Amino acid sequence: MPLTDVFQKIDTNLDRYVRELKELLAIPSVSTYSHHRGDVRRAGEWVLNHCKRIGLEAQLHDTAGHPVITAFRCHHPSRPTLLIYGHYDVQPAEPEEDWNALPFQPTVRDGFIYARGASDDKGQFFTYLKALEVVLAARGDLPINVKLLVEGEEEIGSPHLGAFLNKHREQLKADAIAISDGSQFSDTVPAITYGLRGLAYLELSVQGPRTDLHSGSFGGIAPNPIHALVNLLDRLKNPDGTIAIPGFYDAVAPLEPWEREAMKALPFDEDKLKAYLGLPSLCVEPGYNALESKTARPTLDVNGIWGGFSGEGAKTVIPAKAGAKVSMRLVPHQKPQEIAEVFTRYVKDLCPKEVRLEVKALHGAEPVLMSRDLPQVQAAARAIETGFGVAPVFIREGGSIPIVNLFKELLGLEAILLMGLGRPDDGAHAPNERFALRDFKNGIRSVAALLFEMETCCVR
Ligand code: BES
Ligand code: ZN
């Protein structure tokens, strides 16, 4: 099935594709900020119009949160259907001063496009749109049916997508789902991801005295909420880095010997990773190696902490309140809600009586493992090899995609294809996020190849 004509068209049009992607990247669709609500909608509308322009039947669906876009092209009742999922929302861009160019003024430099969302996930999702467009242009039709589902709330835990999936479960039926997210194993080794960690994300607030106080007049009698908070945070982990919360590890499925062997065989370069992170050494869970620790074992991290005075110079004050955000990455078969419960119970029990502690669960995601041996997954592996010129390895990823388990549960989809097109050093969620133009191009080639592979891989 030579795709020479399709690949030639990709080469001819790549500059235009990049210009279009820049338009989408220029919209600051930060889903967590209410003041960006209008921008999130604008990005959704941009996706809607683009889908229409390339020949899909597209619709914008209002939800209780940010809109969902669906776009269909189902002209072959007897052929397989591929559902494609992506998200057009992005994470906040702060600290903006650490960016070399402004986060929402996309710039191309040294073979990369830089902007918030370049890799996670606008660039990757857009890759799928361009593959559909180019196949339609070269062949006049798509070899299979496609259904797109693009949401604007992935980065805040997809709070409304479950209800949407449930309501539209019949229309969204498919033979496989491709998730336009994730990354390759390295800049030279593409990958298929078969595992994602889950997430439990909580916020702690500690209230001390009614108001801020002079630390001389009241020091010695007033409890300090920052001290109470850091004591609590300190007791979340043991000195060896394992998590001290009773019950935290109870449901964790042990890593199987075959999987540990397979992970050992991956071309993992720990020195390169240390150099990228600017660290002399890594903090790895005892009994596990770095790769296992970062993808297949649970973790706990404080994401942010606030309270008191941190301006210029010194202010003598006992603050009235302090707070922190804490996230835990989960693995099968930990449940986000149960973990949030054991966490809350533990910190509440530990908290001294002189201060008031409030714990709020912000969002969560289920950990998932996907089947590796299905014909659709093999088709995806061949498609990547066609697009990138290198066969993919199979990996587990440490990040989370909150809705993935519901594709299984609500749509009955076993074939979940996660062909990560980005790279681990794309800077997702960090300053100077980027997407390599080479990955953009090879990604479009891979997705085009997937459409043809899918035509024959699943007999119906
Ligand atoms: N693209 C990531 C998920 C991801 C990261 C997949 C690395 C594979 C490798 C996604 O956009 C993301 O950041 N998800 C959030 C989910 C959360 C906000 C519920 C995450 O993992 O923090
Ligand atoms: Zn993300």
> Are the C-beta atoms of residues 189 and 172 closer than 8 Å to each other?
no
Which ligand 1 atom sits closest to the C-alpha of 199? 19
Q: Which pLDDT tens digit goes with each residue over 132-141?
A: 999 999 999 9
Alpha helices in 280-319 (DSSP H): 290-295
Measured between alpha carbons, how far is residue 357 from residues 40, 232, 458 in Å? 34, 10, 54
Residue 151: CB within 6 Å of ligand 1? no
CA 15 to CA 116: how far, in whole Å? 20
Q: Which residue is listed with tokens 């509308």? A: 45
Ligand nearest to the CA of 124: 1
Measured between alpha carbons, how far is residue 195 from residues 198, 267, 366, 418 in Å? 10, 18, 11, 9
- Parse the chain into domains and list their residue ranges: 4-196+367-457, 198-252+298-364
Residue 199: CB within 6 Å of ligand 1? yes
Of the candidates 200, 203, 243, the residue with the CA atom closest to the CA atom of residue 337: 200
Confidence of residue 188 (pLDDT cuts 50, 70, 90): very high
Confidence of residue 183 (pLDDT cuts 50, 70, 90): very high
Instruction: Name the residue with the closest Cα to ligand 1, atom 6.
Output: 182
Residue 363: CB within 6 Å of ligand 1? yes
Between the CA of 400 and the centroid of ligand 1 the distance, in Å, is 4
Q: What is the DSSP letter of 409?
A: H
Does residue 460 register a pLDDT over 60?
Answer: no
CB atoms within 10 A of CB 138: 17
> Are the C-beta atoms of residues 434 and 114 closer than 8 Å to each other?
yes
Residue 397: CB within 6 Å of ligand 1? yes
Which ligand 1 atom sits closest to the C-alpha of 120? 1
Q: Which pLDDT tens digit goes with each residue over 268-320?
A: 999 999 999 999 999 999 999 999 999 999 999 999 999 999 999 999 999 99
**Residue whose CB lies within 8 A of the most ligand 1 atoms, among 400, 405, 433, for a mutation test:** 400
Q: Which residues lie at CB < 5 A from ion ligand 2?
A: 120
Between the CA of 407 and the centroid of ligand 1 the distance, in Å, is 16
CA 265 to CA 318: how far, in whole Å? 54
Q: Which pLDDT tens digit goes with each residue over 15-73?
A: 999 999 999 999 999 999 999 999 999 999 999 999 999 999 999 999 999 999 999 99
Residue 157: CB within 6 Å of ligand 1? yes
Q: Which pLDDT tens digit goes with each residue over 386-417?
A: 999 999 999 999 999 999 999 999 999 999 99
Confidence of residue 148 (pLDDT cuts 50, 70, 90): very high
Catalytically active residues are 89, 154
Contacts of 228 (CB under 8 A, 6+ apart): 206, 208, 322, 351, 352, 354, 355, 357
Confidence of residue 458 (pLDDT cuts 50, 70, 90): confident
CA 345 to CA 349: how far, in whole Å? 6
Confidence of residue 459 (pLDDT cuts 50, 70, 90): low
Domain 4-196+367-457: give its CATH architecture: 3-Layer(aba) Sandwich (3.40)
Q: Kindly indicate whether the domain formed by 198-252+298-364 is annotated with CATH number 3.30.70.360.
A: yes
- Two tokens at 136? 């339609």
Question: pTM of the prediction?
Answer: 0.94
> Tell me, what's the pLDDT at 457?
85
> Are the C-beta atoms of residues 69 and 150 closer than 8 Å to each other?
yes
Residue 427: CB within 6 Å of ligand 1? no
Of the candidates 333, 325, 343, the residue with the CA atom closest to the CA atom of residue 247: 343
Measured between alpha carbons, how far is residue 256 from residues 114, 299, 427 in Å? 39, 19, 31
CA 242 to CA 288: how far, in whole Å? 12
